Structure 1
C-alpha cells in the first residue's frame, strides 16, 4: 500500500466509524418518544399532594431522566430503616381495582429475604412535588438518600429516595439496575422494571406492611418502564427496633461453559498462538472488571472511582499491547479474527456475568468498532506484515481508531 493510500484508508475507516455510531444513536433515539417531557402530575397521599412522576438531572422538566417507580406510604424514617433490616409477616390481599404484584397462594405466605441495602453515591437527580393538589405550590426535591445492592464497579440495584416535602408520610423512589461501563467511565442504566420488581420483594410478606399494589401513573416514557408504580402501605404500628439485622446472602449463579476440545491441535505453534491472543484479551478485560470489584470490596471506605483509576490503563494500553505481542507469530487473517473475536467474547462474558441483557444500539456499534480497531493492530503486528516492507501502517491505523473509540464515550458522543 502506498504512503498516500494508508492515511486515506485510515481516514475512510474513521469516517465510517463516526457515521455508524451516529446512525446507531439516531436509531436508538428514534426508539424513544422524542416528545417534550410530560408535565402531567400524579396525585398521591389520598389526592392531597401532587408529584411529577419522573426524575430530572436539573431543576427543570426538560432534564427528565428516569421514571419514579415506587411510593411507600408510612413514616419516612421507618421506610429507610426497613430497607436495611429483615423481618417476617403476613401477606395482605390486593384490592380488585389495583394490579396485584405478588403471587401468594394463601394469606400467610412469607416471601424472600431482605437485602442489606448500603448507602450509595451517584449523580444528583431531582423530582418535583407539591404538598397540595395544585402543582404550582410545588418545589424541586433532591434525593433524601441513596441506597444500593451490588458493587459500584460491577452491577447493582440503585435506589434514589425522595421524602415528602411537608408533613405527609410518603417516600417516592426511583429504582434502577445499572452497570459500570469501563469505556464511558460511568454507570449505564439497564432496566428500571427489574429493580422495581426487586425492591417489591423487600416489602412482600412483611409484618410491617399492610398492602403492596401497583397503580398506573402513565409515566412510561423512560427506559423499559410501563407506567405502573408500586405502592407500599406500611402498617400503622411502631417499628420493633429489636428486629435482627441479617445481611444478604447472595445466591451465585453457576454458569456452565462448554469447553470444546482443542487437544488434537494444541501441539502446533500456530494453534497455540491463535488461542493465546483471544484468551489474553479475555483475561485482561475480565481482570479489570472483577479485580476492580474485589478491590472495591476490600477497601469499602475508598471512593470507587479512585479504585477504578489504576485499572483503566489496562483498558487503554493493556488491550492493544496484548494484541500486538500475541499476534506477532500469526498470519494476517488469523490475527484479525483472533483479536476481534477475542475482544467480542470478552465483552459478551463481561455482560453475561454481570447479568446485563439490554444495551443501546450505539453501545453495541461502539464495541464492534473497538473490536475492529484491535483487529487492525493485530494485522499490523502479524508475522507476514512485519516482514513485508510495502504493507506497514495497519498498527498506526488500529491505534488511531482505538484512541478515537475510547475518546468518543468520554466526550459524551456515545
Structure 2
C-alpha cells in the first residue's frame, strides 16, 4: 500500500547557474507526494493526484509545512563529532592539537559505534539523509559507521582514512596495510543495501607516493567506488605539500600524477586553486565540496563559487564537522551566503537549495537516486516547519514571494525547522512537540 504526503513541495530541477533561477526548481503550493516501496511514485498538485489514489491510501497532511528532498552533506568527519568548536588554531596545528588525539579513540570499536550513533542521529535531526563521511584510520571505525547506517537503510558513503606518514605512529598505516584493509572493507560494505565506499587518503601531506598509488589501484579494481580527500584548503598546507612533492606542478597535480583525478573523485575545500587547476577538475568530471563554516572557523579562505560556476565545476555543500560548527546544512548555507557577500556577490536561495540537494547528489555520483522529489527517486525527504520559532513565523509573514521565504528559511533556519526526516519512505526522525 502506498502512502501519500500532502504539503507544499519544493525541489531542484537543475543548477540555477545553468538554466536561470526561474527554471531551476519545481514548487507545488499544495502538493502531494506518493511513496511506495521506498520510492517516490508520484509528485504533483494535490488537486490532480488525490482523486486517483487507491481507496484506503494512508494520507498525512501538513498544511503549513514544506517538503524538500533530504539534504546531502558531501564532506564530513564522524570521528570529529566530539571536538566540534575546538578553537584557536589553523589547519595544520589544529590537526595535531585536536584531530589526531580525538581519532586515536576510534581503535575502540565500542566507542566508535557510540559516536556513530550520536553522529547519525544528529544528521537525521538536521534533515541530512546522505553524507560522504571520513572515518578514522581504523577499520573498526568504518565497520561501526556502516553498521549503524545499514540498520536505518541510509544512503551513505564512507571510507577508512589512508595515512602512512606525518602523523602520530599509532594513527599511521602503510601503503600495503591501507590497501588490504580498504579492500576488505569494500568487499564487506560497498553495495550492501544503500551503502557505498569511498577510498579516503586524508590528504597528500599524510600519504606517501606508494600509498597514493595503492589508492589508485583500489579505484581501478573497484570501478564503482569513489575517491574522497582534501585539496588546497590552507596556504601553509599548500606550501608544505609542494615541498613534499617538488616534481609536481601543483597540489592538484599530486593527485593527478598518482592516478586519483577523475569523475569519481570529490575534493573538499579547493579554495586556493588557479583557473588552470579548476579547468582540469571540470574537464575530468571531478567535484568539490564547498565547506563555508569550517573555512571561516579555521581562517582558511573564501571559496570562489562564481568561478566554479563559470568553469562548469560540480559543487556540493559540506558541513565539514568538526571544523564546521553545525550539522545543520541550513546553517551551513547561511555561512555560504556570507562567504559570497564577502566576495561582492549574493547567494541565490534556489542555488542554495540546489547545493544541498540535487547538486550534492551530482557531486557524489548519485543523481537519479537522491536529491529530488521526482518520481523514481528514493524517498528521502524532509518536512520543514517554517513556523518553528516565533521569529521565523513573524518574518515569513512579511515575505512577498517564494524566493524571499526560502532565503529567510536558509538564513534563520536550523535543526528546529526539521519536523520529520524520512529515509526510503520510513520516518527516522520526528521532532518532539
In the superposition, the TM-score normalised over structure 1's length comes to 0.25
Task: Give the structure with the higher percent strand.
Answer: 2
